[in-house]
Structure 1
């Protein structure tokens, strides 16, 4: 956060100068929910901005939601979006033009053209814990044996057996995760321009993946995800988020600019 006495300029991201005003009208802003979100425009580009007080730190859950809300709303309106990192603050709107839009004009324009007509969808899959444990016990004789030996034992007994059972379950779920993650990729990735994966956030997690989807492939992609959800109903919980701003694909788009396309 910048030091200063008055408000500064918070920057959400960059879009082509093709509208967007109605899309962000009345959205809450970062740091000052009642501050209007507006645009600084320069030579075919527009940066989404709002005034932000400099005397208070940023980073509350409301701030994070407001940042994503502006970017995802613009993406949902059909505009290509280059999200900036949360917490991007500059001195004033003049600095937005001189330090951001002017200096980055060619790279931003090229990257926005690459992202035009596409949006990010994020797919998160988690096992239903009781169901996947039942599968492990059905498929592994040793797991069933250990479970039966532990039944009726007091809490302070059978420590070694519990450790063995725990390790077996972790290994078995890990093997299932590899198979199921591969199936998810085979079923939905063919409809994507690019895929970015990250580690699941919990032990029950199967996949946490972002897909860059062209508008013309969106229906087929969503149908493939829905078919998976029906197939795995009661076993795996699938959550599909989107359309979103292409958070996981901006760095790659700009990197290709640097490398010459």
Structure 2
């Protein structure tokens, strides 16, 4: 769902919201390219700073944006540019990422959103300080079914083939069940050490880039001081559950932990 700030009389350019931070040095923002290729800029209000890109409304206004979001090539470019800004901000301190395609028609509306949501945003920034998001993905480890391919038994070759095929399917199902139970155990153990954990839906193989089925797609908010123990735990769990191949990724901007509710924290809803 696209949330776009609209007005009956709109200026030529609006503001694409990337995220909210406590403060931002002008020199830092000047080195971060935004959606239009120029540097991002700050909109301060209520003791917070919204980092935005200038967004020409002939491309990022309500109707053009809805059309562009149907263009997968455009959407990929926009998502990469947005993520690059959020990632650059996250390297410098806590940031509350905005939902992709959150556009205000002017800076005044951006400032108003900061004022209206100040308590929530401050609480989120406090929660993220000194912590990072790490991903742990688990894949079904390769393994051959333990079937004697040479045994035909009674009933001839055709019957033997059916027996072998049934045994292979049973073996695969058993491996998947074991891997699923292992993924549950891994997630539970990681959540005990992390500040918070979220389990996302497994990625399609085309997105994961691997032929092995994904059984765990976890995100974990980890204290910086606890990171060595967390990485050691991931390694230990990998040895403890050989049926699942674990992959640690990160740190990432805290997309998974910007709000307790399912929708992102910074969805913009302008008054009708």
TM-score (norm 1): 0.74
- 1:242 matches 2:257: no
Q: Residue 43 of structure 2 contacts residue 49 of structure 2 at CA under 8 Å; is this kept in 1?
A: yes
Q: How many residues align?
A: 234
Partner of 1:96: 110
Give, in whole Å, the separation in 2 of the partners of 1:86 and 1:163. 47
- 1:204 matches 2:217: no
Give, in whole Å, the separation in 2 of the partners of 1:181 and 1:249. 21
**What pairs with 1:223-242 in structure 2 (closer than 5 Å)?**
223-228=232-237, 231=239, 236-242=244-250
Give how far 1:162 is off.
8.6
Q: 1:225 to 1:86 in 2, by over 3 A?
A: same
Give, in whole Å, the separation in 1 of the partners of 2:262 and 2:121. 8
Q: 1:173 to 1:41 in 2, by over 3 A?
A: same
Q: 1:148 to 1:95 in 2, by over 3 A?
A: farther
Secondary structure of 1:85's partner? coil
Give, in whole Å, the separation in 1 of the partners of 2:149 and 2:177. 19
Q: Which runs of 5+ in 2 are unaligned?
A: 60-67, 205-211, 266-272
Cα offsets for 1:99-152 (capped at 9, x unmatched): x11111122112211222112111112234xx2x31xx13xxxxx268966xxx
Secondary structure of 2:111's partner? helix
Give, in whole Å, the separation in 1 of the partners of 2:198 and 2:247. 16
Q: Residue 202 of structure 2 contacts residue 215 of structure 2 at CA under 8 Å; is this kept in 1?
A: yes
Give, in whole Å, the separation in 1 of the partners of 2:34 and 2:163. 54
Deviates more, 1:55-64 or 1:190-199: 55-64
Runs of 4+ residues deviating >6 angstroms: 146-149, 160-163, 232-235
Partner of 2:120: 107
Q: 1:63 to 1:238 in 2, by over 3 A?
A: farther
Partner of 1:141: none
Give how far 1:211 is off.
0.2
Q: 1:194 to 1:164 in 2, by over 3 A?
A: same
Secondary structure of 1:248's partner? helix
Give how far 1:161 is off.
6.5
Q: Which runs of 5+ in 1 are unaligned?
A: 139-143
Give how far 1:68 is off.
1.7
Secondary structure of 1:221's partner? helix
Q: Residue 71 of structure 1 contacts residue 83 of structure 1 at CA under 8 Å; is this kept in 2?
A: yes
Give, in whole Å, the separation in 1 of the partners of 2:95 and 2:150. 52
Give, in whole Å, the separation in 2 of the partners of 1:233 and 1:24. 45
Give how far 1:80 is off.
1.5
Give how far 1:172 is off.
1.5
Partner of 1:179: 181
- 1:9 matches 2:9: no
Give how far 1:208 is off.
0.3
Give, in whole Å, the separation in 1 of the partners of 2:27 and 2:243. 42
TM-score (norm 2): 0.72
Cα offsets for 1:10-30 (capped at 9, x unmatched): 00111112x355555443423
- 1:49 matches 2:55: no
The Cα RMSD (Å) is 3.4
Cα offsets for 1:218-259 (capped at 9, x unmatched): 121123224445x3899754332222221111121899x9xx
